[in-house]
Structure 1
Amino acid sequence: MKPVNQSKALFRGAFILALAALITKILSAVYRIPFQNIVGDVGFYIYQQVYPFYGLAIVLATTGFPVVISKLYAEQREKRDPEKTRRLLFISFIILQLFGLLCFIILYFGAGYIASWMNDEKLAILLRVVSIVFLLFPIVSILRGYFQGKGDMLPTALSQVGEQLIRAFTILFCAYSLTQLGYSLYLISGGAMFGSITGIMVSAIILFTFLYIRKEWNIIAPRKGMLNGYQREVSVIFKTLAFQGLTICISGMLMIFIQMADAMNLYSLLTENGYEKDMAKAVKGVFDRGQPLIQLGTIVSASMSLSLVPLITSARIKKDVSFLQDKIQLAIRISIVIGVGASVGLWAIIEPANIMLFEDNSGSSVLGILSFVILLSSIITTIIAIMQGLGSLLFPAAVVLATFPLKYILNALFVPIFGTMGAAYATLITLALVCLLLYVKFKRMQSSTVLTVHFLGTLLTAALLMILLLKGCLALTNMITIPAGTERLMAAIQALGCAFLGGFLFLFIIIRGGVFLEKELSLFPFGSKLSLLLPKKNRS
């Protein structure tokens, strides 16, 4: 029974972490909408210019390093050598703290240079606020790795959710309070960025609370002289963290690198090509409305696909080829289906959705193009996760790392011609190239066929019929005369009503068309209900 219990524990832990990731992603996307409503497009521009640097720190504290540390700790724990596991955690902490200190020094003392590169010197103070997070992430990474290495995912999950809750509360509280007091938008955004510090501090407090309640601090507390004579062990741990930890971290930074490139040169390109400074900030702020929309759109596909990764890893280790192929195909089909549905649906209703969320329809055409980022990023995230499950770490990291210079160069080519629409084109081209490179490499690793004629035909039919339904609903509702001052309410009714109708039609055609089998639908939330949409001959 032991292997069965271990398998159940693995999947239970993966589910807990996937649920925590889902909640934090929703919170991360949702808070930006009221924040933009409070500070306006210029205030949103200021915040989004600095956000990618915070995003780097959060990926370091959440994905790569905790995963690698948990793996190393679990291996050492099996050997039942308490001193060796204690030494592993202490060495890892020292290495990460030195790395965090280096990042802090670069960002804090280089803030003026980075702000000048962005062509907005007032951003320097915000960058210095964010730099403090790099001093705090190592302890969070170590404690999360420790608990995950024990197979206990609850502390990590609660620390992630608690961090995001406190951060969102701090951001909205500071934004509202400082706005009411009449402070400048830069000071208001600086107060909002303080949420990155309060969030990670709360995360650390939650993790330490678990140590205190369970009386486990003495198990991991460092001891004097414990590193004497263990230089070789330090070297091995350093190499593991540097290779495995950083490659996994970099692979999780896809959209952060895209946002970073926009932060570094989009505003500069706008001002250099005829935009007055305040107008350029507002236009960049409107462009940044796409980020929460993209995040919300990718949540479902990413969460559902990534929940299959432990199954893929387990099947690879057991050399269960048939099961492995099935789950890989399912993960990719999920990412494509939900990515197409979310991208096409959002594109079709982007104008009322823009008004509902952000008060006006500014930049709707650009946001409509950006909606297709959901499809590409969903596929990329899924392929990267599968490749990591199959043991390939370096290639995905190298490809993702290339997104920053590629997007930066494409911005420089397209923005002077097309404005922010050029930046949207640059994003899509960058992600399309990344997707192509990853897919070519993936096909060399796996020969399974996913894009069958039946699959593509059903998907295209569902997408086209959904577009016709959504555009028809919008045309009819736009004919209704509404009282002045109720435009946003009407837009909300249109957007939500159309989203429900279009989503149901798309899902009905996909399931009715046999894209997913009954046993595959059982893995989805409300799978038993979804299986009722299958033709009777395909039901058990």
Structure 2
Amino acid sequence: MAKILSAVYRIPLQNMVGNTGFYVYQQIYPIYGIGMTFALNGFPNFISKLVAEQPDETSKSLVTRRAFHILSGLSLVLFLGLQLGSNWIAIRMGDIRLAPIVSAVAWMFIFMPWLATGRGYYQGQFLMGPTAVSQLIEQVVRVGVIIMAAYFSIHRGWDDYHMGTWAMSSAAFAAICSSLVFTSFGLKYLLAPAPLATHPLPSYRKLTKRFIIEGGTLCLVAAVVILLQLVDSFSVMKGLMTQGQLPDVAKSLKGVYDRGQPLVQLGLVVATSFSATLLPALTNALAKRQLIEFKRHTQAMVHVSLALSMAATVGLIVLMPEINRLLFGSLEGTTALRVYVISIIFAALITTYTSVLQSLNQYSAMIIGIIAGLVIKLTLNYTLVVRYGINGASFTTVLSLLVMFIIMWLGSPDDLQQVLLESGYVIKLLAISIGMGIVVLLTSHEIQALVGPAMANNRGTAGIITLIGVVIGVVVFVGGAVATRLFSIREWLVLPYGKRLIKAVAKGKEHHS
């Protein structure tokens, strides 16, 4: 729910504040996204591992307290760095008026240690409830404040930067509200007098080292797509101006390019959420040394993730003009968005492979892959934006993710490499996806011809074409998957309504025979 909320709110925001207002918000969003990764994924996951390692309750509470102290130091450095460096960051982004928005987002880092240790402690005790509730509160409050800021900007005549400052202040308001979930935890484990240690604890020096290496790696993995967006914030606007665009035009174009982010985010939610249901079974098989079972679960995870991301990507590429008009009210940037959504395939594969590699405690291929991808984005982005505009930025994002995935794939164990190559899976999937794309494209053209040019260019028609296209796409894809035996029984069971489909196919065969 939180992930869908965090992707969907951008659509009404863009419609309310326009391309330039959306640019102002999206320029600073990656800084929020990185803070969110620290407080929600990277550090809580690492702290939960620390807590789970401790032999008794006292040791668990004491190690959590030490983690809180280390994170407090880190958050203070980040807060002061953003506050004191806000002008420098804004100038490097090519727009000094962004400085107050950088200062506004910095306040969320003050609450990061409290949230990360609270979530990490409960996750280490196998309690996911507090993390889930705090995350949902955080997203609801943040999205509410952002939409209110957009509303006031329209009705009170605020300029885009004033709106952006209030919209980014939502991060701090949301952090305060979600921190309340951990009030009793904080009072008991972080602020009360420390109990006497019953077992030797890791020293602050050793813990800090582990935070940097293990926690830092988890943060890096969780923030892959956001880090690429951060590179865009520093180079796309400047590249467009070097290309000869006027500042206002460059801002508007960056806002158009940023339309791709909610589309990719939604695609990733679809592609990875179902395959992630296999993670507990994967960990269980590994713990019991059931290697054949582990390989089967891995195969199911990779196959489901790749199939859903491929289907979502092909659907988005084919229907992009209609989706662009329906959601954002114009066809601007359709080519750039078509290229950008290819990211979904590689980002989904990276997410799935990192889950498996983490369960095997193999971090080197992940770190090398992510660093290599970021280096490519950093070195090529500006040059390609100057030459090809926002299409160049989309291409470098896809290329960076492709390189990250190839390095992770080559650095993974042989069994994990073979998962993609077995039984002609990729060839079958490509054939089904291309077939689906052609059918949806022909359907879209037929509807446009039917309604005539006058009706073809409004949002209502775009909505009808998108809806019909999605339904036909799903039917063709599922039909193709059944006909080619793309999935095993185990893989069908992971998918929504997979069980019903298996029963329906079995009944059909009985009836036919």
TM-score category by the smaller chain?
Answer: over 0.9
Q: Residues 352-382 of structure 1: CA distance to partner in whole angstroms, max 9, x if unpaired?
A: 0000000111111111111211111111111
Q: Secondary structure in 2 aligned to 1:163?
A: helix
The aligned residue for residue 519 of structure 1 is 490
Distance 1:189 1:519, change over 3 A: same
| TM-score normalised per structure 1 | 0.89
Please report how far the alpha carbon of residue 533 of structure 1 lies from its aligned counterpart in structure 2 after TM superposition: 5.8
1:406 CA displacement = 1.8
SS of the residue aligned with 1:391? coil
> Which one of 136, 140, 147 corresponds to residue 115 of structure 2?
140
Whole-Å separation in 2 of the counterparts to 1:90 and 1:512: 56
The normalised TM-score by structure 2 is 0.94
1:55 aligns with 2:26: no
On the 8 A contact 2:274/2:494 being kept in 1, the answer is no
Matched, 1:530 2:505: no
Offset of residue 178 of structure 1: 2.4
Q: Note the C-alpha offset of 1:125.
A: 0.6
* CA offsets 1:429-476 (integer angstroms, 9 cap, x no match): 111111111110114474644323532332122112111211111111
Q: Answer whether contact 1:273 1:416 (CA < 8 A) is retained.
A: yes
Q: Distance in 1 between matches of 2:6 and 2:422?
A: 36
Which one of the candidate residues 86, 90, 96 is aligned to 1:115? 90
The equivalences for 1:57-76 within 5 A come to 57-76=35-54
Name the CA distance, whole Å, in 2 between partners of 1:90 and 1:30.
Answer: 36
Q: Kindly, what percent of the aligned residue pairs are identical?
A: 29
Partner SS state of residue 307, structure 1:
helix
Q: Structure 2: any 5+ residue segments left out of the alignment?
A: none
Which is worse superposed, 379-388 or 277-286? 379-388
Decide whether the 8 Å contact of 2:275 with 2:301 is kept in 1. Answer: yes
Distance 1:387 1:152 in 2: 24
Shift of 1:238: 2.0
Q: Describe the shift of the 1:131–1:402 C-alpha distance in structure 2 as closer, same or farther (beyond 3 A).
A: farther
Q: Greater CA deviation, 303-312 or 482-491?
A: 482-491
Distance 2:493 2:456 in 1: 46
Secondary structure at the counterpart of residue 63 of structure 1: helix
CA 1:447–1:184 in 2, change beyond 3 Å: closer, same or farther?
closer
Matches within 5 A, 1:446-457: 446=416, 448-452=418-422, 454-457=424-427
| 2:458 maps to which of 467, 473, 487 | 487
Question: Are the structure 2 counterparts of residues 232 and 39 from structure 1 closer, same or farther at C-alpha, using a change threshold of 3 Å?
Answer: same
| Contact 2:2–2:139, Cα closer than 8 Å, also in 1 | yes
Distance 1:490 1:70 in 2: 49
Tell me the CA shift for residue 124 of structure 1: 0.7
Check if 1:297 corresponds to 2:267.
Answer: yes
Alignment partner for residue 42 of structure 1, among 6, 17, 20?
20
* Aligned counterpart, 1:5: none
Q: Find the aligned partners of 2:503 and 2:427 in 1 and give their Cα distance.
A: 22
For residues 150 and 278 of structure 1, what CA distance do their matches in structure 2 show?
52
CA contact under 8 A between 1:68 and 1:245: conserved in structure 2?
Answer: yes
Matched, 1:329 2:299: yes
Contact kept, 8 Å, 2:439 with 2:473, in 1: the verdict is yes
Q: Per-residue displacement from partner, 1:231-284 (whole Å, max 9, x unpaired)? A: 962223222222211111111111011101110111001001110000000011
Q: Does 2:408 align with 1:432? A: no
Shift in Å at residue 427 of structure 1? Answer: 1.2
Secondary structure of the structure 1 residue equivalent to 2:494: coil
Report the counterpart of residue 180 of structure 2 in structure 1: 205
Match of 1:128 in 2: 103
The residue type paired with residue 136 of structure 2 is V
Q: Deviations over 1:145-201 (max 9, x none)?
A: 111122211111111111111111110011112221001101011111111111111
Q: Match of 2:471?
A: 500
Distance 2:83 2:201 in 1: 31
Moved more, 64-73 or 137-146: 64-73
User: Matches of 1:318 and 1:230 in 2, distance apart?
Assistant: 29
Q: Which residue of 2 aligns with 1:85?
A: 60
CA pair 405-488 structure 1, distance change in 2 beyond 3 A: same
- Distance (whole Å) between structure 1 residues aligned to residue 502 and residue 233 of structure 2: 45
- Structure 2 counterparts to residues 22-421 of structure 1, below 5 A: 23-76=1-54, 79-82=55-58, 84-208=59-183, 211=184, 217-218=187-188, 221-223=191-193, 233-421=203-391
Match of 2:480 in 1: 509
Bigger drift between 229-238 and 84-93 goes to 229-238
Deviation by residue 1:476-506 (Cα, 9 ceiling, x = unmatched): 1111137669711110111121011112211
| Structure 2 residue identity aligned to 1:518 | I
- CA distance 1:486–1:315, change in 2 (3 Å): same
C-alpha distance in 1 between matches for 2:201 and 2:127 = 30
C-alpha distance in structure 1 between counterparts of 2:70 and 2:254, whole Å? 38
* TM-superposed deviation, 1:47: 0.6
CA offset at residue 137 of structure 1? 0.8
Unmatched tracts of structure 1, length 5 or more: 1-22
Deviation at 1:85, TM superposition (A): 2.6
8 Å CA contact retained: 1:253, 1:400: no
By how many angstroms is 1:398 displaced?
3.8
Question: Separation in 2 of the partners of 1:378 and 1:231?
Answer: 38
Distance 1:514 1:53, change over 3 A: same
What is the CA–CA distance in structure 1 between the aligned matches of 2:382 and 2:187, rounded to whole Å? Answer: 52
Report the residue type matching 1:130 in the other structure: V
CA distance in 2: counterparts of 1:498 and 1:530, whole angstroms: 21
Shift in CA distance, 455/224, structure 1 to aligned 2, threshold 3 Å: closer
Q: Amino acid of the residue matched to residue 11 of structure 2?
A: I
Asked if the contact 1:59–1:252 (Cα under 8 Å) also holds between the matched residues in 2, the reply is: yes
> 1:403 deviation in Å?
3.2
Query: What amino acid is the match of 1:357?
Result: L
Deviates more, 1:430-439 or 1:513-522: 513-522
Q: How far apart in 1 are the matches of 2:47 and 2:60?
A: 11
Counterpart Cα distance in 2 of 1:241 and 1:490: 52
Q: Which amino acid in 2 is paired with 1:168?
A: V
* Alpha-carbon RMSD: 2.2
Which whole-Å CA distance do the structure 2 matches of 1:180 and 1:31 have between them? Answer: 19
**Equivalent position amino acid for 2:489 in 1:** E
What one-letter code is carried by the residue in structure 2 that aligns with 1:64?
G
Rounded Cα–Cα distance in structure 2 between residues aligned with 1:320 and 1:305: 20
Residues 62, 498 of structure 1: alpha-carbon distance in 2 compared, 3 angstrom cutoff: same
TM-aligned CA deviation for residue 535 of structure 1: 6.2
Question: What amino acid does structure 2 have at the position aligned with 1:137?
Answer: M
2: distance between equivalents of 1:411 and 1:486?
33
Cα separation, 2, equivalents of 1:225 and 1:203: 27
1:515 is paired with a residue whose SS is coil
